[in-house]
Each structure stands twice: as C-alpha cells, then as structure tokens.
Amino acid sequence: MNSSFYNGISGIMSHQFGIDVWANNISNISTIGYKGNTPEFSTHFSTALSDSYFDATMNDVGHGSRPSATQLDMKQGIFQFTDNVFDLALGGEGWFGVKSRNSETLYTRAGAFSVDRNGDLVDANGNYLLGTSGGNITPTTLSPKLMEQFGKYYGKGTNELGQANQITNVTNIVLGGVEGQTKINLPDILYFPPEATTTVKYSANLDPKIIINATQIDLDSADIVSSPINVPNKTLSINGTVSNTTALQNPKKSDVVLVTITDINGKTVEVRPTLDANLNWVITDEDVSSLDITNPLTTTAKLQTTQEIPNVEHFSSPIISPTGDKDILDMTYTKRVPQPAQGSIWDGVIQVLSFHEKYDSSKTYDPVLYKIDEPAGKVYTIVDQQNAVVEFAGSGAILNSTIPTVSNGGTPITIDVGKPNTFTGFVSNINLNRTRSETHDGYVSGLLKGYGMDGNGNVIAEFSNGRSTPVAKIAVYHFQNDQGLESVGSTMFKYSANSGKAIFYSNENGENIQGSKVFSNRLENSNVVLATALTELIVMQKAFDASAKSITTSDQMIQSAINMKK
C-alpha cells in the first residue's frame, strides 16, 4: 500500500516536468528560431506479485512514472518579412553555424544577423556567422584620385577611409569543408576594377537604295593640261578632259568644271568652263595678274555633275579602355558607287577614339592624330584606325566581311557584324526593317554600394557601376540526429555524441551544398502553436491534480486500516 504514495509522488514530479516544458514553450512563443519541445515519460520498473507466471495474464505492479526526455519539434516556423538583408531563414532542415567568443561552434535556426564595427556578420550576442569566403577580396593601394572619389562617395576624408580593398569577379562560391568554415567579413572600402572592352556586336541595315544627286568629283591630275604662262600678258590657258577620272559615272555636255588656280601665297583664281560634246573643256588666256606668277602655279579641278552618290552609315559606340575610361568606337561605312549588279559592297573606316580636350578653334590639330567633333566641342585622340570591307548578297545577307581587330589601348577588340550567309548582324536591303542595336562587354570601375543576398545563399557585393559579385556563401549544417543536439540556450545548440558531428550535403559532382534554401529579409518565428501548448498545459495540470489526489486517497485508506485495529 505504501507504493501508492510513491506512485502519486512520481506522477506529481513527472507532470511538474511536463508543465515546465510546456510553460517554457509558451514563454518562447515570440522567440525567433525557437523550436518547441515535447515532454516524454516512462514507467518505473514493476514488481511481480508472486513467483508464478500465467500465459494469459500479467501479475506486475507498477512503481509510477518518471520524466524520460524532451523531443525537439523540428517542423518549420512561419516566416516574417523584415527590412534587414541579413535577417536569414532556412527553407527546410538544417542549421546556421556560429562561432562564439570562446571559439566554440554552435548551431541555431535564429537568423537575425548584422554587420558589426569590424565588418563581421554577427548575431545579437556577438557570435560570428560561419560560411565559406570567396577569397576574391584583397588589400590594395589605390591612386590618390581614386581615394578622393571614395571619400566623396562615402562622405569621409581620405584619412578616415582606412585600408582599401579590391575585388575579383566570380560567378558562384562552392561551399568548403565542415571544418574549414570561417567568419564572414565585409569590408567598407571595396573597389571593383574596370574591365576593358574586347567584343562589340552590331545589328543594323546598311540601306543600299540608289541616291541620285548633284555632286562634285575631283578630276584626276591627268585630265588637266596647263600651257606655259604668257608672262607679258599675264594670262594662262588650260585644257582638259574627264576620261581619266574613274569616279565619274555619266558626265554630260554642259557639266561645269570648277577650276582653281593657286599661287605660292595661297591666292586663287577660279574659272568655270563647261564640257563640250566630246567631254573636253578649255580655258583660253585667263587673266592671272592677281597671282604671283614668278613661281609655278597649281591647278586643280572638280566636275559638277549629277550622278549616284555613295550612301554613308555611321556608328558610334561606347567602349571601356583598360584604364576604365569611356572611349568611343567610331565606324563609318560608305557604299561603293557604282554598286554591283547584285548586292552591294561597303568600305568602312574604324577608329578607336579617346577624349583629348575641348575643341579650341585657335589650335591646329593634326588629322592623323586627332578627330574633331565641332558640334560637340570635343577633340579626340585616334588610338587606332583600321579599314574594313563588307559585301552583301542581293537578299541583304552578308557574303563576306573583312573587319580587322582594332586596338583598345593595347587590348584587342573583335567587331562582330554577323556571320556569312546569315541575317544575324549587318544586312543591306531596302526592304528589310532592322532595328539598329549594339552590345559590348567591359565595364568601368565601381565603388561599393552595399551588400545583399542572392538565391543561392551567397553574400553579394553591389557596386556603383552596376556590377555585383558574391563574396561568401552561408554555411548550412546538418546532423544525422537533430534530436540528439544539446541545448545551450533557447535557440542555441551544440553537437553531442547522440547527434553526431555536423555534416554537409553534396551534389552529384561531389561539391558541398547547403541542402536548404537560404531566404533573405526573413526570419523564422517560433514553431510553437499556442492553442496546442495551452491544451497540453491543461492536460498536465489535470494529471498533476490526479496524482496529488492519489496520495490523499492512499492516506485515507491507511487511516481506515489503522482505525480498524482500535
């Protein structure tokens, strides 16, 4: 009979344990990343009433219950959205790893992280978030000009900036080994170096329509024959033809020849004879008294006629130099006249231009070295110049293109205008409607704008030049038995012999992977359901009361037995 007292006491102690567990769950219902616990109980060993055993019945007497364990509830908590990019949540199983101040590795589902004053990702307790570094950030020394740009960008003096760092572009970071994970450091001063343009692609229609218009064609020197100067009369006679000038297509009688006679001082006399029926022209006894005839005179001539004039297509595209400057790839294509019976041929002049200075009309610029853009008021240095030829079929498709590689300050640029017998780049047909477009690689230098996260669990550095690159990958740890983890706080755990050591999952290529998606700007709430927790608390309370009642009942029974002896 005395055992009933102990059964009641064990029931009280067991259900007090259950009340404690569920009360703890309720108290942590607003704790980020908290995983609820479920209390488990077991019976004490029982005692047989006698030494006889029966096949059909048991004759054991129980000795009450005792707390056995708590089971960790690993179901997913509801996500809440936040404004902090480093508020992280796991969309599946797994744990974030953090390194405590005493270098102990702990595991948590609470993903509220931020950057501390040293640039390290930490939680609210100062524990370092663990991950794999991209290894693409290195200290560097920048020019005073760049450091001044950094200062203006960040609103600091140059002496306040500290160590500058340079980043190398990578596409993705592979998760390292479990033991190789380190804290994630995100420096404030980060420089993205420029990348020179190496490829430019064009798409356009070089319109081959025939344009007939008045034009002036320089006559070949063989078409100009000057007689000796009549010194006493100070006159000059000149005759000529147009037969040696191949650029002429259809010269006609009465076309005007513009003849210019120039002396050694640059003074000129202009005369305008016309072509006769035989396409000859003549100037007789022209007065040159206004010129210095003591030295030889120079005579040039142009024929003013009506014929097909060449079509011209101009392209101007930005490119990036090796130093990060914005230069220009300038191309001018001129249709050959007359064109073939089928298709057309275009001659191109390709130049790489770098800004030299604002245009100064008082200066003389060598056209071999410089190109002047008077409307824009700019003068450009000609870095490189090449000639090109593009041939088109009657359909407008490219038959052949001879476009040499041009030098971009020492970096070769390949110009892609389409493959032969295709319509992928340049076309030339009056009936084709092709939107003009251009693409090029390369980019200017950039200054760090901030950090973010991508969909692969990478920490991303974003720059003022529009570029971004990963700098670290968040580690997600897994265990063979999550239930065996040892709690060291409401949301912190460490491995035990029961849980096994942390592991990483791997893909078919043998590379370590996170195994669960890492969400940014989200936190995982506690997975405790209040309604369930309150119900279980009531159950535990009633069981506690019943166990207490069993003690008073046993007391009454013993009291009755004692009274029977009186």
In a domain, 81, yes or no: no
In a domain, 149, yes or no: yes
The answer to whether 111 and 506 have CB atoms below 8 angstroms apart is: no
Sequential DSSP letters for 239-298: EEESTT-TT-S---TTPEEEEEEE-TTS-EEEE--B--TTSEEEEEEEE-TTS-TTS--E
Do 112 and 239 fall into the same domain?
no
In a domain, 132, yes or no: yes
pLDDT at position 121 is 97
Do 205 and 340 fall into the same domain?
yes
In a domain, 225, yes or no: yes
pTM exceeding the 0.85 threshold for the entire prediction = no
pLDDT at position 162 is 82
d(Cα 401, Cα 187) in Å, to the nearest integer?
A: 49
- Of 417, 440, 463, which residue sits at a domain end? 440
pLDDT at position 45 is 53
- What's the domain range around 452? 94-193+447-517
pLDDT at position 48 is 46
In a domain, 82, yes or no: no
Do 103 and 53 fall into the same domain?
no
d(Cα 78, Cα 82) in Å, to the nearest integer?
A: 13
pLDDT at position 63 is 63
Do 431 and 365 fall into the same domain?
yes
pLDDT at position 68 is 66
pLDDT at position 539 is 80
- Of 493, 517, 541, which residue sits at a domain end? 517
Q: Which helix (H) or strand (E) segment is 549 a member of?
A: helix 530-564
In a domain, 418, yes or no: yes
Q: What's the average pLDDT block by block, 10 residues per block, for the chain (566 residues)?
A: 66 73 78 78 56 51 65 83 94 94 93 94 95 93 85 82 88 92 93 94 93 93 92 92 92 95 94 95 94 93 93 94 92 91 93 95 92 93 96 93 93 94 91 89 92 93 93 96 87 92 93 94 85 78 72 74 72
What are 374's two structure tokens? Answer: 């008077």
| Torsion angle defined by CA atoms of residues 148, 195, 448 and 523, in that order, rounded to the nearest 10 degrees | 180
DSSP state of 230: B
Do 544 and 453 fall into the same domain?
no
Do 231 and 368 fall into the same domain?
no
Do 203 and 218 fall into the same domain?
no
Do 292 and 271 fall into the same domain?
yes
Do 335 and 296 fall into the same domain?
no
In a domain, 84, yes or no: no
What are 121's two structure tokens? Answer: 């990702």
Residue 362, SS3 per DSSP: coil
DSSP state of 515: S
d(Cα 215, Cα 275) in Å, to the nearest integer?
A: 16
Structural domain count, the chain: 4
pLDDT at position 159 is 79
Do 508 and 553 fall into the same domain?
no
In a domain, 364, yes or no: yes
DSSP state of 340: P
